[in-house]
Structure formats: C-alpha cells, structure tokens
Amino acid sequence: MISGLLTSEASRDKIASLAEAEADALAVASGVSVRTLHGPAEMELASALLATIWKAEGNEPHIDPGLLVALAHAHNYVAGAYRGADLVAVCVGFFHPPPDRALHSHIAGVVGGSDGAGVGKALKHHERAWCLRRGTNTMTWTFDPLIARNAYFNIHRLGTAAMEYLPNFYGEMTDSINRGQDSDRMLLVWDLLREPGARIAAGTSEPEACVLYNEDGVPRLSLDSLGSAQRVRVEIPSDIETMRIEHPDRAARWRPALRDALATLMNDGWQVTDFARRGHYSLERTPTRAHSQH
C-alpha cells in the first residue's frame, strides 16, 4: 500500500513538473511571464483589465477587486500574464467539491491584440500546472458554445469533455459582449492528469448526418433527418462575434437554433467528441442510446 502510494505521488510529481515546464515554454513562446497575483494593487489592475476586455459599461468592475483579494487569500487561483510591465491577461478560478480536488475556472480574458499570440494557452497551462502541484485532478469552466474559436481551443486543442448545455446560465448580463442575448453556456471538464490534446483525431469518423447547417448565415434545424445515424455534425458560424456586429438580427437567431439542436442531443445522451476548426461540433450516440434504436 505504501509503495503504491509513493509510486502514485512520484507519478503525480512528474506530471506536475512536465506541466510546469510546458507552461513555462508556452509563456516564453508568447512573450509573456505568468504568475499568481496578490494584494489590492494587483487586483485593481486585474479588475480593470477584465472590465476593459468585457467592455463593461462605464468600466464598472466585472469582478470586484476586493473579491479577487479574498479569493487569492483563500488559496484560490488568481493569475495574470505580463508582457514586460503590462498586464495583458487574467484568469480566476475557485475550488469546489470535492475539496481541493476540483477547480472551477470562472473567468479568463486576454487583452485585444494578444489573444492570437498564444497568451491564453500559456495562461491556461499555467493554471493546469498550478492545480496539479496542489493535488487537483480536474478543472471545470463554461464558455459560450457559439464562439467557434473558443470551442476549438477548449475541446480540440485541450481535450476537455463537454458535460452539459446550460441555457441562459448567468441570466441577463449587462456587459457589451453579452448584453441583449441569453447567456447559454457549455460546461466543460478537463482531466488534468491526462496529456492535453484532442480525445480523438479530427476527421477520423465522418459524421453521417448534419443537424444544423449554415445557409447564407441563417440557421436551419433538421433533427428529423438523424434517423439511425451514430455520428452527427452540428455547425455554427465561424465568427459569431463579427456577425453580432454586422448582422445582429441574423446572429440572434443562432442562439435558440443551437440550443434546440445541441441541448436536445446532449440531453438525449449524445456525446461531443470533437470540434473542427472549420466550425462544427462532432457528436456520437452513446452505446446505450445507440442500442435502444434497434
């Protein structure tokens, strides 16, 4: 028993060390340094940056600086990425049951101009390494399932598991990014002990049916066409954020359309297996569901 425990601890230490090395390499590659934040002055900067990223009205705090101080003091995760002396990204997470074994990553934001430079990836891997060093096995977070670049990063590049579709999860939100639309989110779980990366190779299993397709940017729903298909593709716009600015009426139709398709499938036991860069979710029937069709 003791030998097995030591082996387990040694294995975890090795995984944590590798994760730290990878996080450091990603930070260097993206030209930033990532570290945890402490004290009122740093939290004021972090709060202001998040308000800027989310375009909060009147630059009101998106997260109160005092709350960030309290979270960090209670040994939760509050970290930032610096390019030189400038704070360019912030990530905040807090522990949830089972105690100290799971962290919910509540918010992560990268200032415009740095989001395509790998800063977000460096920050996420720093968060993973920080968790592993503290014996934390899993990380959860939510994201807007209509934002294709985030879906690709979260599901394909990190290899997270999509667990639940959450309609209007936060209720009405007042920041400029989310104002005027339901705050639907997808709940993800990241197995931190697993090497990051897609759970299946993209394109190895061609979908047999397409639930949602894009015709001139307008969503169409076709759940009835599934039949006995075991794999399905659910398409979304490649850039819903630009569509929300240039074609707000068209963009607004995508929220209920995706909810009807993706939430219905996931509630019926379909599992999200991947997300393709070109803009679609891949899902497969679970064996129990597939068996029940015959």
pLDDT digits (tens), the chain, 294 positions: 333 444 477 888 999 999 999 999 999 999 999 999 999 999 999 999 999 998 876 656 779 999 999 999 999 999 999 999 999 999 999 998 876 689 999 999 999 876 668 999 999 999 999 999 999 999 999 999 999 999 999 999 999 999 999 999 788 766 656 666 788 999 999 999 998 887 664 445 666 767 766 666 677 766 777 778 888 889 899 999 898 889 888 888 899 999 999 999 999 999 999 999 888 999 998 865 444 443
Q: How far apart are CA 232 and CA 268, in angstroms?
A: 13
pTM score: 0.87
pLDDT of 210 reads: 76
Q: Are 3 and 110 in contact (CB under 8 A)?
A: no
Residue 141 Cα distances to 13, 22, 25, 190, 227, angstroms: 24, 21, 24, 9, 33
186: which strand partners?
Answer: 143, 165
Please state, in angstroms and rounded to a whole number, the distance separating the CA atoms of residues 262 and 212. Answer: 9
Token pair in block for residue 285: 């029937």
Which residue is listed with tokens 């993706």? Answer: 262
Q: For residue 62, what pLDDT is reported?
A: 77
How far from 144 is each of 89, 150, 186, 222, 264, CA to CA, in Å?
19, 8, 6, 22, 17
- d(C-alpha 272, C-alpha 270), whole Å: 7
